[in-house]
Amino acid sequence: MTKEQWVGQTRRTLKPWGYEDLLAFVDGLYCGKLLFIKAGHSLSLRLHERAEKTLAVQAGHLVVEIGRCLRELESFHLFPGDTLRLRPGTVYEISAEVDSQVIEASTAEPSDVVRLSDIYGRRLGGPVGTVS
């Protein structure tokens, strides 16, 4: 076998809040990403209908707004070493206090995002494609 049969490349997608590097994607099974969120920026307020995710903070300081519905969001801080499990239907928004890096491991559901609000003016609703 040749190296090309074993080795792939990450794929970077620029976002208004920073970027995401797709590290692994196996359709129907799993997805791995590295998220870089710039200081003062936020991912959209959203939920996933089917996807389950775990986020692991590698660097930085994040503020998470999270709950089972919009009327019952709670806020807390995440620091390096903290992990956050997001079950289907969980409403959440993540903001970076400082430049931050997060590893995301999830089920492979790239278009399972329902965007509820967005400070960058992106389309609301869902599915909205492969967004974060």
> Which stretch of 15-24, 94-103, 121-130 has the lowest confidence by average pLDDT?
121-130
Q: What are phi and psi of 32, to 5 degrees?
A: -130, 135
Q: Is the pLDDT of residue 20 over 60?
A: yes
- Sign of the CA dihedral 21, 103, 50, 122? negative
Q: Is the pLDDT of residue 61 over 60?
A: yes
pLDDT at 110: 75
> Which stretch of 1-5, 8-12, 33-37, 115-119 has the lowest confidence by average pLDDT?
1-5
pTM: 0.90
Domain boundaries, the chain: 10-117
Please tell me the CATH superfamily of domain 10-117, with its number. Jelly Rolls (2.60.120.10)
Label residue 28 exposed, middle or buried (CB < 10 Å: 0-12, 13-18, 19+): exposed
pLDDT at 128: 59
Distance, in Å, from the CA atom of 100 to the CA atom of 96, rounded to the nearest integer, reads: 6
By C-alpha distance, which of 46, 52, 70, 62 is closest to 119?
46
Convert the pLDDT of each residue in 99-110 to its tens digit. 999 999 999 987
